[in-house]
Every structure is written in C-alpha cells, then in structure tokens.
Amino acid sequence: MKKITVLSENERQFADKHHDTVLHFLSHFHLKMADYYDVVIFGYLSAVQSYLSNPELQKYRFSTIAWSRMMDALAEEQIYQRRPKRCAATLSFEEDSNLNELNRLLPDREKAIEDQMFDREILYELLSYSTPKEREVLYLKADGYSYHEISEYCSISVAGVQNRISRFRNRLMSPRIRKAAI
C-alpha cells in the first residue's frame, strides 16, 4: 500500500464528505466496525489522496477507487494475520493442561521420555569416544546401509564393519545393564 501523507484541507473535506463509503463497505461485507475500521480506513484515505492528485482516476466514480483500495487494505491485513508466526499453536502451562491429562492417561509416558533422553546422552558420550571411521560406519548403518554397502564405501571388510558395530553395541548396552542393576 502507498504511504499516506498528512491530508490537505481539500483532501480532509473530501474525505469527510464521502466517509459514508467506509461505513457502507463495512456493512456490505458484514465486518465489525471495532475490528476492521482501522484496517479499511487507511485504504480509504489512500484512495482520497490518489483520487484528488491523479486526474486519470477522476474519470471513474470515487466509490469505485475507494472500494478497490479498501479491499486491498483488507486483503493485506488478512495475509498479515494468517502468517504462520501469527497462527502458531500456543500451550498453556496451567495445572489442568492437556499435557497433564495425557500424562495421567499414559503414566509411563514420562518414564519413556526420560529413558530416551538418557539413551541419547549415552549415545552422544559413546560417539565422542569413537574413532572417525567407527562414527562413519555407525552413521551409514543408521541411514539404512547394509554391511556390504558400508564395507565398499569405507574400504573395509564386511567382518570389519560387523566388528565395529558389535563393539559399539556392547559399549552401548553396558550402561543399560548397569542402570538395570541399580
């Protein structure tokens, strides 16, 4: 939308004279004045300034130009309001939130999330002790490659791939066994 400048006295009188166009527009589209007046009035004022400053537009009725600009202003506002950042889901942190209801229905859910976080911490710790070649083998296996494909890609034998993965699996399982014993 074109930037609106301060209205001259002539523009102000013209805007006052045709102000019922704004009210008719809001009424026609069943828009609440409290919600949309501030939106469409800028389109209306832009139409007033353009209509009086551009002789080409004076070939048309003012209401045609005004309705067009008010429709543009309304469309811009709706585009602005429907952007994903303005339509984001919000969560309530109240005691009776849906999340707490879900935890009551599935009592082991929090335990499962806690176990996943613990497993992730162990995995990151074990990966930090791994050699670059072991990490490469593990990442390829996690991506779904077969032992044979990994051996070709890493230029090692299939037995070497199996050994690296089994050693890592043993390292990964040993903290779980310790945790289960505690």
* 50-89 residue pLDDT tens: 999 999 999 999 999 999 999 999 999 999 988 877 777 6
How many of the other CB atoms lie within 10 Å of CB of 139? 12
Q: Answer whether 154's CB lies under 8 Å from 133's CB.
A: yes
Domain borders along the chain are 9-86, 108-176
Give the mean model confidence (pLDDT) for residues 145-170: 89
Q: Answer whether 97's CB lies under 8 Å from 91's CB.
A: yes
Distances (CA, A) of 145 to 8, 126, 134, 152: 73, 21, 14, 11
- pLDDT (0 to 100) of residue 181: 45
| pLDDT of 3 over the 70 cut | yes
pTM for this prediction? 0.49
Banded pLDDT at 103 (limits 50, 70, 90):
low
Report the percentage of the chain scoring pLDDT > 90.
45
CATH 1.10.10.10 fits 108-176, yes or no: yes
Give the mean model confidence (pLDDT) for residues 110-119: 72
What angle is formed at CA 156 by the lines to CA 150 and CA 162, rounded to 5 degrees? Answer: 65
**157 token code pair:** 């034998």
